[in-house]
């Protein structure tokens, strides 16, 4: 049954759907578009120096969920298209290009979501709800408004819609970067961008499950800073809201690729917004989980006897890419998720 989810002061409440309770938290569906009932939602990875190499990555139903940790000011929203999931971060750019198209900033690449129209018009209403959700959980910008829709040179006349989107995104990043200077873009590497897209979903699924099952303990594995700048790791601060920084995902991806965690000083973040991130111990805990799952994958390699319960997830494990070489689990299947929880619990 749907219910109302209270918002911050001055904001209207959101209609929410089903809520599932877990050991240490709750997972609430904020909005859903059923891909089976009509045309599927498309998820693109925007590749190339100007998004000219972008390609369809997933298609299916779309949903937006919010995870809350009981007794602590830790919340996290995420989007899913088909079987692919990514996190919404307070300091990550999300831009609405038109009524049914959104672009998301991820570590090292961008996603784009395109929602097809429907005859009943319900999709437009749900896209408006998603825009409201993104405005609460992300660095959201509506480029469909008069100010956001201004043309930015001849590039916007390009026939490729993602190239046109790139010019708008770059202009937006220049306006929102500190000191007004444009951030340097990483060199274009399609293989790395696609690999990161796969790993990102696996990392977010692992992070979500670890928060909900109590594997990640806020007082031990997280850095939580509220709007006042004070560190909040106790239940006395539960009434405040803290949202994840985009460094949560980038730190995990870097740790997987380098096999170590780098200390990060996030005290400089602020602007009156609460945020949370992983400390070094939290990153290393999840890195051990990834290693444990990779060990399961190696045991199940051809020529070795495969564990009986691995069957439902073996395809997901083969096409995973959580660790180097794209050869380990993506935590996509049921068996892989069981391994994840088992490994976390034994750490």
pLDDT tens profile 72-131 = 999 999 999 999 999 999 999 999 999 999 999 998 889 999 999 886 668 899 999 999
Judge whether residue 237 has pLDDT over 50: no
Please tell me the predicted confidence (pLDDT) of residue 300: 59
Predicted confidence (pLDDT) at residue 321 exceeds the cutoff of 50 = no
Alpha carbon distance 15, 11 (integer Å)? 13
Q: What is the pLDDT of residue 262?
A: 81
Task: Name the more confident of 203 and 337.
Answer: 203
* Beta pairing partners, 106: 109
One DSSP character per residue, 199-226 reads: HHHHHHHHHHHHHHHTSS-HHHHEEEE-
Cα–Cα distance measured from residue 165 to residue 106, given in angstroms and rounded to the nearest whole number:
16
> For position 169, what pLDDT does the model report?
84
pLDDT confidence of residue 316: 35
Predicted local confidence at residue 283, as pLDDT = 95
Domain ranges (residues) in the chain: 3-180
At 259, is the pLDDT very low, low, confident or very high (cuts 50, 70, 90)?
A: confident
pLDDT 10s digits, 270-294: 455 689 999 999 999 999 998 888 7
Q: How far is CA 238 from the centre of its chain?
A: 23
**How many CA within 13 A on the CB side of residue 302?**
1
For residue 68, pLDDT over 60 is answered with yes
Query: Is 36 or 150 the better-scoring residue by pLDDT?
Result: 36
Q: Show Cβ contacts of residue 264 under 8 Å, excluding neighbours closer than 6 positions.
A: 247, 251, 277
Give pLDDT, residue 226. Answer: 80
> Taking CA 91 as the corner, what is the angle to CA 90 and CA 97, rounded to the nearest 5 degrees?
90
Per-residue pLDDT at 322: 32
User: Residue 190 — pLDDT band, cuts 50, 70, 90?
Assistant: confident
Euclidean distance between CA atoms 145 and 257, whole angstroms: 40
Q: Which fold has domain 3-180?
A: PH-domain like (2.30.29)
Predicted local distance difference test score (pLDDT) of residue 176:
54
| Angle subtended at Cα 44 by Cα 38 and Cα 46, rounded to the nearest 5 degrees | 160
Least confident of 82-96, 134-148, 248-262: 134-148
Q: Does 69 have pLDDT greater than 50?
A: yes
* Nearby residues of 211 by Cβ (< 8 Å), 6 or more positions away: 24, 25, 67, 69, 74, 76
Are 336 and 313 a contacting pair, CB within 8 Å? yes
Residue 38 to residue 47: CA distance in whole angstroms:
28
| CA neighbor of 88 nearest in space, from 25, 134, 45, 132 | 134
**Taking 80 as the threshold, does the pLDDT of residue 178 lie above it?**
no
- What's the whole-number mean pLDDT along residues 183-196? 67
| pLDDT higher than threshold 50 for residue 49 | yes
Q: What is the pLDDT of residues 205-236, one digit of tens each?
A: 999 999 999 999 999 999 998 865 444 443 33
Tell which wins on pLDDT, 147 or 262.
262
User: Is 50 exceeded by the pLDDT of residue 52?
Assistant: yes
Q: How far is CA 41 from the centre of its chain?
A: 17
């Amino acid at each position: 049954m749907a219910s109302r989810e209270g918002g911050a002061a001055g904001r209207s409440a959101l209609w929410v759907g089903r809520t599932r309770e877990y050991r240490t938290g709750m997972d609430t569906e904020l909005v859903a578009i059923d891909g089976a009932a009509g045309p599927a939602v498309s998820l693109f990875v925007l590749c190339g120096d100007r998004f000219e190499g972008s390609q369809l990555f997933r298609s299916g139903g779309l949903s937006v969920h919010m995870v809350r940790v009981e007794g602590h000011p830790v919340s996290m929203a995420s989007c899913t298209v088909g079987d692919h999931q990514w996190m919404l971060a307070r300091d990550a750019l999300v831009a609405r290009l038109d009524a049914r198209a959104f672009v998301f900033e991820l570590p090292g690449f961008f996603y784009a979501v395109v929602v097809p129209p429907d005859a009943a018009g319900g999709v437009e209403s749900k896209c408006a709800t998603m825009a409201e959700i993104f405005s609460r959980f992300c660095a959201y910008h509506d480029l469909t408004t008069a100010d956001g829709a201004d043309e930015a040179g001849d590039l916007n006349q390009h026939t490729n819609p993602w190239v046109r989107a790139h010019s708008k995104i770059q202009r937006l990043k220049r306006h929102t970067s500190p000191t007004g200077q444009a951030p340097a873009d990483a060199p274009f590497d399609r293989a790395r961008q696609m690999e990161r897209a796969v790993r990102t979903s696996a990392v977010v699924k692992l992070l979500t499950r670890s928060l909900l099952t109590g594997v990640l303990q806020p007082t031990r594995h997280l850095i939580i800073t509220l709007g006042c700048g004070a560190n909040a790791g106790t239940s006395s601060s539960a009434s405040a809201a803290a949202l994840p920084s985009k460094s949560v995902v980038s730190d995990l991806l870097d740790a997987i690729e380098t096999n170590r965690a780098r200390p990060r000083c996030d005290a400089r973040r602020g602007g009156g917004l609460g945020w949370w991130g992983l400390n070094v111990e939290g990153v290393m805990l999840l890195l051990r989980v990834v290693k444990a799952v990779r060990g399961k994958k190696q045991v199940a390699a051809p020529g070795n006897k495969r564990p009986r319960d691995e069957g439902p997830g073996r395809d997901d494990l083969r096409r995973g890419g959580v660790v180097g070489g794209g050869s380990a689990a993506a935590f996509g299947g049921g068996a892989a998720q069981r391994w994840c929880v088992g490994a976390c619990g034994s750490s």
